Every structure is written in C-alpha cells, then in structure tokens.
Structure 1
Amino acid sequence: MEFRDLKKQYNVLQNEIDNAISEVLHNCNFIGGNQVKDLQKQLADYVGSKHCITCANGTDALTMMMMAWGVKEGDAVFVPDFTFFASGEIVAFSNATPVFYDVRQDTFNADISSLEEAIKAVIDEGRLTPRVIIAVDLFGQPADYTQLEKIASKYDLLLLEDGAQGFGGRINGKRACSFGDAATTSFFPAKPLGCYGDGGAIFTDDDETAEYLYSIAVHGKGTYKYDNVRIGWNSRLDTIQAAVLKVKLDAFERYELSDINAVADKYTKLFGDIVTLPVVPEGFYSSWAQYTLQLENKEKRDELQKRLKESGIPSMVYYPKPMHEQTAFAGVKKYVDCPVTVRLCDTVLSVPMHPYLTDEEIQKVVSEVKKYLS
C-alpha cells in the first residue's frame, strides 16, 4: 500500500503524460515553452485569479511574495505554529520576524483569537511593525478567510494564502488560492496537484505585482533577457513539469478531486467515533492533501504507527514539532502560547490518502486502527 500512490496515478495517465513529455523532448523547448504559458492561464482560470506566475517551487513562491511586498528587517509576519517549516523560514530569510500563532484543533487551521492576540502583543510592545498574515490551508482545507480578511482589514495587514496543500479546496464555491491579497501553492509530487519534481505558483489580481514577479523570477529582467532592471533570481517552472501538470490538472478536475472526497467520506463513515477525525465545516470543501487522525497521546500515536507499519500500512506524522520549538527559531520571541499546536504535534497521524485508494485498502486501514484502539 502506498501513502500517496503516484505509481498508480502514472499507470492511469501514462499515455497522456508520456506524449506530453515526448512533445517537449521533440521540440527541445525545455525552458519557457508554450506549455508553461498555457498552464499559467489554465491555473488562473481554474482558481479564479487574474494572474498566475509559475516558479521553481512553493518555497520560492512564498519568498517572492515577501520580496514583492518589501518585507524587511523590523517587520512582523504572523505564521501558524502548526505548519511546515517553509511558512516561517521565508519570513526569516527576508530578515523579518516570524510571530507564531495557534491553530484550531478541529480543522488544524488558523485560530483567529490566537492570531489577534499575537497581533495585539506585537503592537503593544512597539518593537516590530506588523505587516503580513500568512494563513496556511493545511491538509487540503482552506483556512477561514472570512474571518482572516476581517482581521487583516482591522489591523491594516496584508494577507497571504499559503495554499501549498490547499489547491482544489473551496469555501462556498470560491476556490483556494484566490483568497487574501495574494496566494501561493506548491506542485511537489505528493501535493493534491503535483508534478514530477519541484514546482510552484503565485496567484494575484494585481497587475504591478504580477509584472514584478515575472521579472524577479528571471534575474530581474526588464523588456528582454539581458535587460536587468532589478536584482532577482532564477526561479522558473521548466517545460517538462508544465507538460506533466497540464495532464494532471485535467485529471484533477475531471475525477481526482471528487474521488478523493469519496475516499474521505468512506474513511469518516467507517471510522465512526472510535478516533478523533478531521472536521470540514459547513460551506468548506477539502482537497484532502492528508487524512489526519488525532490519538489520545503521543504514546498511543507512536504505538499505532508502529502497528500500522507492521501490517504494511504507511503513515506519517505532520508535524512532530511546533514551529516555535524549531532550533532555527530558538532566538525568536514567543508572543502567545500555542497549546493546541503542542498537543497536535504529539497526537496527529496521517493515514494513506489519494484518489486511487481502493475499498479493500480503506477497509484494511480502518480495520487495523480499530483493532489497535479496541
């Protein structure tokens, strides 16, 4: 059994993917081919954003938005404590200060009260300038942008949607990567929409921001390749990855997104109330990057993971350590306590989740979890 079965996906899409890659090889348009431009338009149309700028990976996408907004030393950027390291890393990389806030236990996403408490604490201290809120669409579900946008407006902050895991999710029909002042995503192979290497994208409705992002992605270029109008870097999605993503985006829209939600429904029905399950609030729709259980404590979580491995069932812990406990952030001031994050890091366990999971595999996972818990 695979945790995220990319082999099975390739078997289903093999002809289309092989043909798409072969076309790139035949034309030798490895950098900046038409497939990249086509994909950017398709992604923007799907999300409902005016511009989509593809880049080398999701971390670059986040960093480029810090650059576009001029985030610098002395600025405070508010980041969930329960997320992947990159969400805070890019803040420190910009010489700004990450300020960590807590998440909700039911959705794993931003706790609005904790966020506002952190903002007030920074304002009261008067040392840093609050600039940006980063909200993460964890495990496939968008954060509560209705409330986040109110907080951002109240304190005059920019809001960045980190949709690395959220692509395909929705709130009342509005798609992930269309919220806030800008949004980013990742095409890492195991993401809801993944390529065969690294890749990322930024979504914005602002023409000037889009122009700036296109420029810095290619060494700060101006009107042509050797006209460099600013300091940039090299962060491009190559044509082969774009070709693969075009095929996968079609499958994602046609059946993968609905199929993975069907898998989630089966898990939820079969698990019942024997274990704490992920919650999707009314009006929200998840792309299920992960299906994450919560156990009673760390000992039970670790023992269950061991039992599953012995039964041939892969599982993962996302994430075992809060952001504020990362060694790299040892010198960063803690403005609010994050007890939910601390608990989640000890109790979460993600089980196999992908659109190609069979009923037999689902039953096996549920059966082994129930066997251990009972």
Structure 2
Amino acid sequence: MNIPMLDLSEQYQALKEEMLVALDQVMSSSRFILGDNVKKLEADVAEYSHVAHGIGCGNGSDAIHIALQAAGVGPGDEVITTAFTFFATGGSIVRAGATPVYVDIDPVTFNIDPAKIEEAITDKTKAIIPVHLYGQTADMEEICKIADKHNLVVIGDAAQAIGAKHHGKTVAEYGTAATYSFFPTKNLGAYGDAGMIVTNNDEVAENCRVIRVHGSKPKYYHHVLGYNSRLDELQAAVLNVKFPHLNKWSELRREKAAVYTHLLNEQLGDLVKTPVEKEGNYHVFHQYTIRVEKRDELQAFLKEQGVQTMIYYPLPLHIQPVFKDLGYKEGDLPEAEKAAKEAVSLPMFPELKQEQQEYIVAKIKEFYNK
C-alpha cells in the first residue's frame, strides 16, 4: 500500500460541483477582497465558536500576531507559551515586538503544563498563549485562573483545534481571543493560506479589523501600524463550501482515532503510547500522534513500506537557532525535548480506510517484532 499523511482528493471529488459553482460566483462578481463570502464565513465561524466576532486574515500566523497586537501586547512585554509547537507561535510573539518565554509540556497531552506557568511570570509578563496541539484543548480552566490572578491576556492558538471543546466550551470561549489556521491540511482547510481570529471582546475585535488593513480607519487614515493581511473571497468561498461538513469530518477523525487506539493497544501494548483524550475534552484529532522508542528508525521503515508519517515537531522552539539569544539550552525543558525525540504522527484524514489503518499497525508491529 501507499498511504499518504493526508489525501484531499476524495474530499474534493465529493464537493467538486458545489466548489466550482462557488468559485465561479466569485470570479463573476469581480469582488475579491473582503466581500460577502468573507462576511458569511466570519459570522458562521464566530457562531460556531460561541463568540461574537470572527475576523478573517491572511493566515494562521498573522492571526496570532494581530490578536496579540490588538490585545495590547508589544515591545517590552513577555508572553508565556509552550516550546513544543509550530514556529508560528513563537515567531508571532517576536513579530509583535514581545519576548517569548517557553515552559514545558504535559507529557500525556503534549500541551502546555499549567503547573509550569506561574513560576515563569514576571513583572514583564503580559500574556499567555496556550496551544491546543494535535486537536486537543489545553487545560484552559486552570490557565485562565492563573491569567485572571495576574491580569494577563490569553490568546489561544487553535490552529489545529477548530471544533475542539473543553468542558463543553469551545477554544474561543476561554481567554481574550483564539486563532484558527485554514491552511489546506487543517481540519477545515482552504486552497491556500487563510486564518481567523475569534473573540467576544468588542475592542479587540475592532482593533483586529483595523490592523489587518494597514491600520487604517477610515481608509487612508492610519492611527496604528497595521499589515496587509486579509482573507480573500476565493479562499472564503472554498471554506464556506467545506464548513457545513466540519462536524461530520471531526466525528470521522474521532472514529479513525478510536480504530488506531484499539489496534495499537491490542497488538503492541506498552511498545506504543497512544493519545489520551483528557476527561472533559472533545479531541478533534487534527493529528494522531503516538510516542515510541526508536522513532526515527520506525519512520524510515514505514516509509519503505509505503506509509507516510510526520514528526511534529523535531526541535522545540527554545533550542531553535533563531531563538539562541533568549539563552535557553538543551535540558531546560526536558518533557518537550523528550517528546521531540519520541512523537510521530500517523496518517489521519476523514476518508482514511480501516484496511489502511490495519496495514499501518501491522507494519509497526512488524518493525518492533524485529
């Protein structure tokens, strides 16, 4: 078998007719920037997130950056976040003029460990960015308690977690704002770059709308330094076609995850640590990530057998070369560093077939039997 990490072709074929109509309507309208498709998507995603505002922007990285600036985070401020995440989390903090402060993770969920946050707070701390990694929310109740105690902004990086819930609440209902990425590989993916900020805070929402259009309000009058980061109509049209299917796709991902977990636990036992959905969470399994010994050797073997896997992420942010001036060294965040050596993500998409999953697990078992 040849099994990719993600196959979007079957999804496209199912939506093709509707998709082509939607794209043709945009082309025929000649309205390509901040039109009706963007407005509809912003309203629908905000309602889905149980908040008042959705602000579309160019991509998920800009969403974090804009949300930070809109919430008043800037030069001289520190922002506490996890080191075990995609670069955009830390990069966006620096782009906003602030300094990232990295703390360690919960080894069970891979998410930021709330017990490590308070000891990292200084008089310069302005915000916390929890990342809802792989589709499971961080412990937002505990994180928000800490934030409230110290009067801190909370921006949830939900790039991988649209639709995820924590004790019945969406990722957007906690903290100041949350951000989504609609990169093509995401659970709700565009056909290019796209992102969104979702918030219940009227002031932050208005600031985001201004910042995404060069900081102008009204047009050509600039009171803040903004950026050109608008969600365009074509991408919004694509997302509007896909959006009604999101809940079904999330449930299918959960079903695939359950199949993986059953097969792996049954056939490999303690050789593989399967994902744990913490009590009170609704995990949307953007990735199905396991922990194993001899991870790199396993990945190479699976590649030979036609199975694509991915490592998210091989080098935590605190020891990335670009952040060397922050002064971190290897050994500072042991759980993040250990996860970077053990975590590997298996193919995961709603159309994944059970026979494909059985093949993948059989090959993992074959590797360890050797």
Deviation at 1:115, TM superposition (A): 1.7
1:259 to 252, 264, 267: 252
For 1:14 and 1:135, the matched residues in 2 are separated by 36
1:313 to 307, 313, 327: 307
Percentage of matched positions with identical amino acids: 41
State the Cα deviation string for residues 209-245 of structure 1 (Å, max 9, x = none).
111111111122213x334343322110000100000
The amino acid across from 1:315 in the alignment is T
Moved more, 109-118 or 31-40: 109-118
The amino acid across from 1:166 in the alignment is A
The amino acid across from 1:236 in the alignment is R
What TM-score does the superposition give when structure 1 sets the normalisation length? 0.94
For 2:29 and 2:226, the matched residues in 1 are separated by 28
Which residue of structure 1 aligns with residue 279 of structure 2? 282
1:104 to 92, 106, 121: 106
The amino acid across from 2:78 in the alignment is A
Deviation at 1:170, TM superposition (A): 0.9
State the Cα deviation string for residues 291-333 of structure 1 (Å, max 9, x = none).
011012xxx1011101110111100000000111101100103
Q: RMSD of the alignment, in Å?
A: 1.4
Which residue of structure 1 aligns with residue 158 of structure 2? 163
Deviation at 1:172, TM superposition (A): 2.2
Deviation at 1:136, TM superposition (A): 0.1
Check the 8 A contact 1:80/1:135 in 2, yes or no. yes
Deviation at 1:108, TM superposition (A): 0.6
For 2:174 and 2:349, the matched residues in 1 are separated by 25
Check the 8 A contact 2:70/2:211 in 1, yes or no. no
Deviation at 1:90, TM superposition (A): 1.3
Deviation at 1:175, TM superposition (A): 1.6
Q: 1:167 to 1:11 in 2, by over 3 A?
A: same
Check the 8 A contact 1:88/1:323 in 2, yes or no. yes
> Which runs of structure 2 are paired with 1:45-64 in the superposition (5 Å)?
45-64=47-66
Deviation at 1:179, TM superposition (A): 1.8
The amino acid across from 1:92 in the alignment is V
State the Cα deviation string for residues 130-173 of structure 1 (Å, max 9, x = none).
11001000001111101101111122211110000111111122
Q: 1:155 to 1:229 in 2, by over 3 A?
A: closer
Which residue of structure 2 aligns with residue 338 of structure 1? 333
For 2:21 and 2:277, the matched residues in 1 are separated by 38
Which residue of structure 1 aligns with residue 235 of structure 2? 241
Structure 1, unpaired ranges of 5+: none
> Which runs of structure 2 are paired with 1:143-222 in the superposition (5 Å)?
143-222=138-217
The amino acid across from 2:263 in the alignment is L
Which residue of structure 2 aligns with residue 371 of structure 1? 366
Deviation at 1:7, TM superposition (A): 1.4
Moved more, 342-351 or 5-14: 5-14
> Which runs of structure 2 are paired with 1:283-302 in the superposition (5 Å)?
283-296=280-293, 300-302=294-296
Which residue of structure 1 aligns with residue 354 of structure 2? 359
For 2:59 and 2:13, the matched residues in 1 are separated by 25
Name segments (4+ residues, structure 1) moved above 6 Å: none
The amino acid across from 2:303 in the alignment is K
For 1:82 and 1:355, the matched residues in 2 are separated by 26
Which residue of structure 2 aligns with residue 322 of structure 1? 316
Q: 1:72 to 1:221 in 2, by over 3 A?
A: closer
For 2:39 and 2:236, the matched residues in 1 are separated by 9
For 2:185 and 2:26, the matched residues in 1 are separated by 23
The amino acid across from 1:262 in the alignment is E
| Structure 1 residue 81 corresponds to structure 2 residue 74 | no
Structure 2, unpaired ranges of 5+: none
What TM-score does the superposition give when structure 2 sets the normalisation length? 0.95
